[in-house]
Amino acid sequence: MSDRTEQRGDTAGAGSLPGQVPLRPPANPVSRKAIVMWLLDGLFWSVLLVGGAFLLSGWIGDGRWSWLPEWLADGAGWLPALTAVLVVPAALAEPFWRYAVHRWELSGDVVYARSGWIDRQWTFVPVSRIQTVDKKQGTLERVLGLATVDIRTASHAGSSTIKGLDYGVAAALAERLAQRAEELRDDAT
C-alpha cells in the first residue's frame, strides 16, 4: 500500500532479491506430530515406488521389450537403486522441510496459512466470506491425534486447508471460525 506508486515502473518487483516475499510467517506452527505423519506417508510411497521399479526392472530384464535400446535394457537392474536414491532422501527431508513451512494464523478475522515444501503457497481467507468449516481426520491422523481443518468459500482459490493440527487445536479453530463466520456473514458473493 505504501508502495502503490512504485508499481507502475517496468522493473517493479524485480529490484528486490529473489526469495524475498514480503510476508511475515504466520504465527503458529503445526503440531510436531505432523512430522511423524509426513514421514510415514513418505516412507509408504517410497516403498511403493521402489517396489514398482523393482517389478519394472524384472520385466525389462526378461528381454521381452525388444524395441528398447540395448543400453537401457542392460541397465534396467539399476532402476530400483536409482529410484531409491532419488525418492528416499526426499521422503526423509520432506517432513522437516514441511514442518518449517507449514504455519497458520487467525488474526484480524483473516485466516492466513502457509504450506508446501519445494513449492510454496500462501492463502488468505477472510472469515466473513467463509461458507463452511470442516474438521477432518484421516486414518493416520486419528492414530496420531491430528486433524485437518478445511476452510471453504465460494471459490476454490479462496479456500484453505490446514493440515497436521493437534486435534484439540483443530477443533477449537473450527469452532471459533464457524462461530465468527456466522456473526460476520457477508453475502456479497
Partner 1 sequence: MTGLPDPPDRPGDPSADPHAGPSADPPADPSAGPHAGPSREDPGPHAAPGLRAYGPPPVGASAGPAPAGPSAGPPLAGPSLRLSPRVLLTEPIRTLPSLLLPLTGVLFLGGFSSGSFGWAAFGLVGSVLYAVVRWATFTYQVIGDRLELTRALIGRSVRTIPLERIRGVDVSSPPLHRLLGLAVLRIDTGAGGSKQEGELDGVTLVEAERLKAALLWHARARAARRAGARGTVAAHGDGPPGAAVTVPAGPFPGTPEPAGPSPAAAVPPVRHRTGETLPERVLFVVPRRWLAYGPLSGSYLLTPFAFVAGAAGLAFQWGSELRIDGRIVVGAGEWLWGHPLLLGGALVVLVLAMPVLGAAMYAVFNWDFTLRARDGYLVAERGLLTRRSVSLERRRVRGFELVEGLAERWAGVARAWAIVTGLGDSGTRGQLLSVIPRRAALDVVREAVGPILTGLRPHPPVARRRRLFRAVFPWLVAAACAAVAARSWPPLWWAVAAALVLAVLGVPLGLDRYRSLGHTHEGGRLSVRSGSLRRSQVVIEERAVVGWTLRQTWFQRRAGVLTVVAGVGAGSGGYAAIDVGEAQGVAFAAEVTPAWLAPFTEDAPPS
Write out the H or E segment, with its range, that includes residue 123: strand 120-126
Tell me phi and psi for residue 15, to 5 degrees.
-70, -35
C-alpha angle with apex 123: 116 to 34, nearest 5 degrees?
40
140 in Cβ contact with 44 (< 8 Å): no
- Helix 33-61 to helix 79-101 angle (10° resolution) is 160
Q: Which residue number, 128 or 137, has a Cβ lying nearer to partner 1? A: 128
Query: Footprint of partner 1 on residues 149-168 (CB under 8 A)?
Result: 153-160
Q: Is 187 in the site for partner 1 (CB under 8 A)?
A: yes
- Choose the stretch contacting partner 1; rule: CB under 8 A; options: 30-38, 92-100, 118-126, 170-178: 118-126
Contacts with partner 1 by CB under 8 A: the residue count is: 59
Cα-Cα-Cα-Cα dihedral sign, residues 120, 124, 130, 133: positive
CB contact set of 79 (below 8 Å; sequence gap of 6+): 53, 54, 56, 57, 60
* 100 makes contact with partner 1 (CB under 8 A): no
Contact stretch for partner 1 (CB under 8 A) within 30-38, 40-48, 91-99, 178-186: 178-186
Q: Is 13 in the site for partner 1 (CB under 8 A)?
A: yes
71 contacts partner 1 (rule: CB under 8 A): no
Binding status of residue 110 toward partner 1 by CB under 8 A: yes
8 vs 139 by CB, closer to partner 1: 8
Residues 20-39: x where in contact with partner 1 by CB under 8 A, - otherwise, as a string: xxxxx-x-------------
**Rounded least distance, CB 14 to partner 1, Å:** 4
Residue whose cell numbers read 490446514:
162
129 binds partner 1 (CB under 8 A): yes
